[in-house]
Amino acid sequence: MSSKSSNTAAVPEAKGALDRFKFEVASELGVPLTDGYNGNLTSRQNGSVGGYMVKKMIEAQEKQMSAQNGTTML
């Protein structure tokens, strides 16, 4: 089995911003995320952070796209 990770950033410069965003979301959700090892958290806690991050990113992209097109999303 290969130990090489396929989890690479598409835009490496964005890593810091994504990390800050992750901690912001975890704080909003009340998940006690720490810098480093978080093996004490449940899969549900970790998944809720990732899922909410995706939700917020999609909402931001939809707003940006609707502003560019001059339309509003329902």
Query: For 53-69, what is each residue's pLDDT tens digit?
Result: 999 999 999 999 998 88
For residue 73, pLDDT beyond 60: no
Mean pLDDT for the stretch of residues 29-48: 95
Find the mean pLDDT for residues 30-50: 95
Helices (H), ranges, 1-74? 15-29, 43-69
Is 62 in contact with 74 (CB distance < 8 Å)? no
Cα–Cα dist 60/72, whole Å: 13
Residues 6+ apart with CB under 8 A from 26: 32, 33, 49
